[in-house]
Structure 1
């Protein structure tokens, strides 16, 4: 009889625990959607105020962004502590290698042809040097913070060029990359919250 009472008392607790798990997932989903909506609104305003880069400027900025992402992700292989951060970094190497190839292809199809310059900016070099000096949890924190910032910038660039760009092959490539970058940004934000 005592065992039956204990089992009956445990059922509501199990139900509450299951509900809490569902509530937590619902809250995370709501936060993700709200963050995306706010970002889209801010990005739309920013995009309308930002001048459209030339085809060469766009190609250079995209190439630098990819080169930075790959270099930072390679550091994560040795300096990161979290398995999730290392997994994310590996995905960034693969995705940004593909992005580089897509931008080069589009630049080569442009008339006149455009050659992207992937030379990192001074700020990117400084960011990489700071990351090189970090290990473990501190690296994870700084790397993911940087990934959120870098993907916000990349998303704004791609959206702007996909909408207002003047070089058709690059404009098409930018449009193709927008949803990929949105996924990366959402993933980086989730890791940043954890």
Structure 2
């Protein structure tokens, strides 16, 4: 049952990163704070485009896992947080990542590819566990920290695949997801706990 939920959640997360607002936001990899980059390196999450998969199956696995993390971590926050702005952000993440999941699945279907059930990477599972274990008083800060890490990794994934991917339909979708992820990063920078 949990794996079905996770699959559905990751599908939802991918969709969320592709929300209707695709304004050209100038926030990008250069906007990653030194702390976020350091945290990413500490957790083994690298924004190095060389590490970005160029094959469709690798991209689909990472994109699905990223969406799953976004949905599940946001749902965990919604169970405990009282902060209205953060709750609004978490609800936006669930919706946006559901939408991006749907877009990636549609692109995979167009390319006649099968999307496997998502599975969180060890670093994603560690961050989700940290969020789920956080007290109501601590969850906001833990969630924001891990959202920054996850979104910076997502930006590197989608930018990298859009540039060097091997499947045109997925490259196009990855390129469409990039401005949405940048928008989320900009939104995160405005939240408390920066």
Contact 1:107/1:116 (<8 A) preserved: no
Unmatched runs of 5 consecutive residues or more in structure 2: 1-24, 38-46
Match of 2:89 in 1: 88
Q: Is the 8 A contact 1:74 1:93 kept in 2?
A: yes
Aligned residues: 158
Give the Cα–Cα distance (whole angstroms) in 2 for the partners of residues 105 and 114 of structure 1. Answer: 10
Give runs of aligned pairs for residues 19-98 of structure 1, distance below 5 A.
36=28, 38-39=30-31, 46-47=48-49, 49-50=50-51, 52-98=53-99
Cα distance in 2 for partners of 1:189, 1:115 equals 32
In the TM superposition, residue 53 of structure 1 has moved relative to its aligned partner by 2.8
Post-superposition Cα deviations, 1:36-68, rounded to whole Å, max 9, x if no partner, equal 47338x99x933x44543100000100000011
In 2, the alpha carbon distance for the partners of 1:38 and 1:82 equals 29
Q: Unpaired segments of 5 or more residues in structure 1?
A: 1-31
RMSD over equivalenced CA pairs, Å: 2.5
* Aligned equivalents of 1:78, 1:172: Cα separation in 2: 35
Q: CA separation in 1, counterparts of 2:71 and 2:48?
A: 26
- Matched residue of 2:190: which SS? helix
Which gives a bigger RCO, structure 1 or 2 (Cα 8 Å, sep 6+)? 2
Contact 2:54/2:164, CA 8 A, preserved across alignment: no
Structure 1 residues 1-194: aligned runs within 5 Å: 36=28, 38-39=30-31, 46-47=48-49, 49-50=50-51, 52-111=53-112, 113-193=113-193
Q: Secondary structure at the match of 2:163?
A: helix
Q: Which of the two has greater helix per residue? A: 1
